[in-house]
Amino acid sequence: MTEQQAGVAAVAGVLGGMMVTFMAISVVLAVLLIIAHWKMFTKAGQPGWKSIIPIYSDYVLFDLVWDAKNFFIYLALCVCTYVLSMFTVNAQTGESNMLVSFLCLAGGIAALVWWIRLQLKTAAAYGKSTGFGVGLILLPNIFTLILGFGDAQYVGPQE
């Protein structure tokens, strides 16, 4: 083996080790977040299994902290934005449609605003302050772990 091949092998080994470490940390974090969501749901009197079913868990969370009808508004915003994004550029000519692009941007911003409101409502429903809600917005994984594993108690939807 030449010196250059040995160097390449060493770099590949280091990168492979970093990748495995990153994946292991990601799996541990994912499991912790699943447990935290499970605990959040049980604190609210819901079966924990509802927290692990995609989309349905979001519906239940909206119902717990805000109102179930708001989930359907949020879902419609997300779906419409996604569908509109497929029509922003004409596949044959490569030209962009400015109106569709604007509507896509507006829908995405509206969905983001709805998500931010959900985080603030989640903080309030678990007896936390608006500052904690900002934490849920900026660092959602960390603050979700705090809600799930901390002493937060579910107090119900707040106005």
In a domain, 77, yes or no: yes
In this prediction, residue 93 carries a pLDDT of 78
* Count of structural domains, the chain: 1
In a domain, 158, yes or no: no
In this prediction, residue 100 carries a pLDDT of 86
Using one digit for the tens of pLDDT, what is the confidence trace for 7-59? 888 899 999 999 999 999 999 999 999 999 999 999 999 999 999 999 999 99
In a domain, 15, yes or no: yes
In a domain, 159, yes or no: no
Using one digit for the tens of pLDDT, what is the confidence trace for 62-88? 999 999 999 999 999 999 999 988 888
In a domain, 67, yes or no: yes
In a domain, 114, yes or no: yes
State which residues form the domain around 67: 3-149
Other CB atoms within 10 A of residue 97 CB? 14
User: Burial, 127: exposed, middle or buried (Cβ in 10 Å; 0-12, 13-18, 19+)?
Assistant: middle
In a domain, 98, yes or no: yes
In a domain, 157, yes or no: no
Q: What is the pTM of this model?
A: 0.85
Identify whether the C-beta of residue 105 lies closer than 8 Å to the C-beta of residue 96. Answer: no
In this prediction, residue 96 carries a pLDDT of 81
Identify whether the C-beta of residue 73 lies closer than 8 Å to the C-beta of residue 82. Answer: no
What is the spatial distance between Cα 12 and Cα 108, in angstroms, rounded to a whole number? 40
